[in-house]
C-alpha cells in the first residue's frame, strides 16, 4: 500500500478470538461463520503487524502474527 490509500482487509477465522492491527488500533471479533472487515485510510507509513488474540487484545497476551501490512511513504 501507499500512504493515503484506502485499505480493505477481509477477515475470517475458524476459531473464536480477535484480530488486531497494531498502531492503527483496529480490532475485530471473529468466530467461525462470522467474518469482519476493516476499511480505513492508511495514514501512517511503516510495517504493521496483524496479530491474533484468542483472549481478546485487552488481555495483553499478544498472539501470533497473522500478516503484516506494509505502507510505503507517499
CB of 44 to Cu ion, least distance (A): 16
**Rule CB under 5 A: is residue 18 a binding residue for Cu ion?**
no
Q: DSSP letters along 7-70, please?
A: EEEEE--SS-EEEEETTTTEEEEEBTTB-EEEEEE--S-EEEEEEEETT-GGG-----EEEEEE
Q: Using CB under 5 A, which of the segments 2-10, 33-41, 44-52, 64-72 binds Cu ion?
A: 44-52
CB of 74 to Cu ion, least distance (A): 26
φ, ψ (nearest 5 deg) of residue 58: -70, -15
Q: Which of 11, 20, 42, 69 binds Cu ion (CB under 5 A)?
A: 20
Enumerate binding residues for Cu ion (CB under 5 A): 20, 51, 62
Amino acid at each position: 500500500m501507499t500512504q493515503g490509500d484506502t485499505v480493505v482487509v477481509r477477515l475470517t477465522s475458524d476459531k473464536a478470538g480477535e484480530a488486531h492491527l497494531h498502531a492503527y488500533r483496529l480490532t475485530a471479533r471473529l468466530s467461525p461463520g462470522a467474518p469482519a472487515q476493516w476499511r480505513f485510510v492508511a495514514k501512517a507509513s511503516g510495517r504493521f503487524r496483524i496479530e491474533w488474540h484468542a483472549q481478546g487484545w485487552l488481555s495483553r497476551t499478544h498472539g501470533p502474527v497473522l500478516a503484516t501490512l506494509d505502507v510505503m511513504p507517499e
